[in-house]
Structure 1
Amino acid sequence: MNITRRTLLAAASAVALLAQPMIAQAQDLPRNMRLVIGSKSTGGDTYQASAMVADALSEKLGINIKVDAVGSSEAFKVLSRDKRGTTIMMFHDQAYLGHLYGVTGYDDIFANYNIGPTVAINPGNAYLVPADSPYQSMDDILQAAADGTRVRVAIQPGGVSEIGFSAMKNAAKVMNPGSEENIVAVNTGSQSDKNQAMWDDLADVINGSIQGNEQFTQLPADDEKAMRFVWITARPETLEQAPEAGMGGTSRDEMLKHASPETSVTLDGNEDFTFDKEFFMLFNKDMDPAISEAIDAALTEIYDAGDIQTRQKEAFFIPNFLPSDEAKAHLQAKRDTYGKVIEQISQGN
């Protein structure tokens, strides 16, 4: 009986010892944290991705994390002011693309903030044409530009919506110098504005998303709102992790036909341009490092457990956890690649 009791006590002590690192880290955190996001929408992908991570972290660390959709300008301001760590931020590639494009309110995040972990990818960034468009592929679009035809592309300038447009212009310049002048932007606002530009015959191509536009690709070809995908910017390795059924009436295999390498938009004549819309955290530069370390450690355990990946895939996100140090190096490499694309098409303008 004594041996059994000692064995049980030893086992309990071992369990408690294993739990101590996470408990100690959790004690370094504020009891209530505000996760501001670079979007004002509570129905968009930024809010969805953030809410899943906030819920998982709250449960793991035993604290309250509230997602607050305040928009990018306000989010950066609030984050800059809060050195205590009661405010953290979630955003996506727009955070550094806005700076590369010179958008007001976007500073260099790598200089002014600490980069936190990446958590997920939305693989849905895409470009579409009307169902009755003469352009069947990106090759057709780039050839039309080379032949002197003006191709109008509806985008929301200054970030995720524009980077694929910049890649089109860059590819045109690499393949047929001078033809990039025939790839022209139609600057709009929201996705509904871009859709309307197509329907009003103000744009030949629009930036869209699998999630937002797939429904229009399922309409009868003679419907005035019917569309076709011509390019999905995500890496094939990313799309291959999506559910086989895809989304709506578009399977994963059909999506892959519109992505590299089957649909090629060249980066430099040798490699294809690709773009994954990634979600990641940002922290105040002067925040106690123990807080970010606790978040990294908690997310490592959360992703090791695997439940969050299931929830993310059900919402058509691709899980992509990288701890802070790896995330920073990865995002800086992306920033440098896209910075070169933007610089290349700006030369001579």
Structure 2
Amino acid sequence: MKFTRRTLLAAASAAALLAAPLAAEAQNLPRNMRMVIGSTSTGGDTYQNSAIVAEALSEKLGINIKVDAVGATEAFKAVGRDKRGTTIMMFHDQSFLGNLYGVSGYDDPFANYAVGPTVAINPGNAYLVPADSPYQTMDDIFAAAESGTRVRVAIQPGGVSEIGFTAMKNAAKLRAPGSEENIVAVNTGSQSDKNQAMWDDLADVINGSIQANEQFTQLDPSDQKAMRFVWITARPETLEQAPEAGMGNTTRDDLLSYASPKTHVPLNESEDFTFDKEFFFLFNKDMDPAIIDAIDAALTEVFDEGKIQERQKESFFIPDFLPTAEAREHLTKKRDTYRKVIDDISAGS
């Protein structure tokens, strides 16, 4: 096909018209935007995921977005006092789980903020035992609790770390009412604290992650620090989107063997408990809706182009874009599901 000057000009004009709505929406945005995150770590998954999204948005919208790791309490405060839209937030399910568990500093994000689009899942939430543990499976753990043995689980209370622990108690209760009392929490802090609790024989099971703990599953079983996965909470549909090579020396098929349905932790009589750690935006509830519309439109284009998905998967994130309206509906249902699990266990305590 021969391209004339007129053809090229027509194509350029068409492209400009298509880009015009996004360019118009971008005019409503501040030139400099601060993306606060609910973590103080610049090496963790929240920062890593937020940096990928911030870079893509900055390029698409032609603005500067700086990721600022201030922690959950400070991030909520910063967004809550900025109606102009110069401050936005990126966090994950901890934002509503912290509220459900009554953690100080966690207001109801659905009532006090505007929940925005989802962007990614970290499928790595996991539970592990020492390599020499007598517990080979979750069934072994539930059987031990049923027989009267106390099973100590190291968690960081009040969120992503605790929801799987609550699910364990719920599953034990479904299997043998009363046995949930033998699934007991060892409240710690960071991942290193949970690991240390295992190594010091203060915990029989720990909450961990594929990313942080896979290395310890590759140690010789005689090593004091050696661990084994027993449960990965992600939905199988999520894990199936991970790279076939998996993480480290643990393949995707290996990881799937620790997830539902091969590893059975019931939510109720008909379905297993699963949990995907999803990252999403939070905005000031009084912010100009046009700013949210501009971010939605930009992210739609970014994900349609496909490059961001490659970057996310390189970092073992699963692409998970839902525009604001769909994200709010999805996350509200998810919050309600986990609230029922938490309330049921609390009522039985």
- Which amino acid counterpart does residue 189 of structure 1 have in structure 2? G
Which aligned segments of 4 or more residues in structure 1 are displaced greater than 6 angstroms?
none
How far off its partner does 1:7 sit? Answer: 4.7
**2:296 corresponding residue in structure 1:** 296
**Post-superposition offset of 1:18:** 1.4
Matched, 1:281 2:281: yes
Match runs of 1:180-199 below 5 Å:
180-199=180-199
Greater mean alpha carbon deviation, residues 300-309 or residues 9-18: 9-18
Residue deviations 1:221-271 (CA, integer Å, cap 9, x gap): 111110000000000000000000001110000000000000010001210
Unaligned 5+ segments in structure 2 are none
- Give runs of aligned pairs for residues 308-327 of structure 1, distance below 5 A: 308-327=308-327
Deviations 1:282-308 (A, max 9, x none): 010010011000000000000000000
Structure 1 partner of 2:255: 255
Conserved 8 A contact 1:118-1:278: yes
How many residues in Structure 1 have an aligned counterpart in Structure 2? 347
Q: What runs of 5+ residues in structure 1 fail to find an aligned partner? A: none
Identity of aligned residues (%): 80
Relative to the length of structure 2, the TM-score reads: 0.98
- Per the alignment, in what secondary structure is the counterpart of residue 270 of structure 1? coil
Change (3 A) 1:220 1:111: same
The amino acid across from 1:313 in the alignment is K
Post-superposition offset of 1:8: 4.6
- Paired residue secondary structure (2:56): helix
Instruction: Supply the distance in 2 between the matched residues of 1:9 and 1:317 (Cα, whole angstroms).
Output: 40
Aligned equivalent of 1:35: 35
Match of 1:213 in 2: 213
1:142 corresponds in structure 2 to 142
Task: Provide TM-score, normalisation by structure 1.
Answer: 0.98
SS of aligned partner of 1:325? helix
Q: Deviations over 1:128-184 (max 9, x none)?
A: 000000000000000100111100000000000000000000000111000000000
For residues 348 and 12 of structure 1, the distance between their equivalents in structure 2, rounded to whole angstroms, comes to 66
Shift in CA distance, 11/199, structure 1 to aligned 2, threshold 3 Å = closer
For residue 255 of structure 2, give the secondary structure of its aligned residue in structure 1. Answer: helix
Instruction: Note the C-alpha offset of 1:103.
Output: 0.2
1:177 is matched with which residue? 177
1:6 shift after superposition: 5.0
Compare 15-24 and 82-91 and name the one that shifted more: 15-24
Q: Which amino acid aligns with 2:296?
A: D
Determine the structure 1 residue equivalent to 2:230: 230
Q: Partner amino acid for 2:124?
A: G
- Partners of 1:175 and 1:269 within 8 A in 2: no
The Cα RMSD (Å) is 1.1
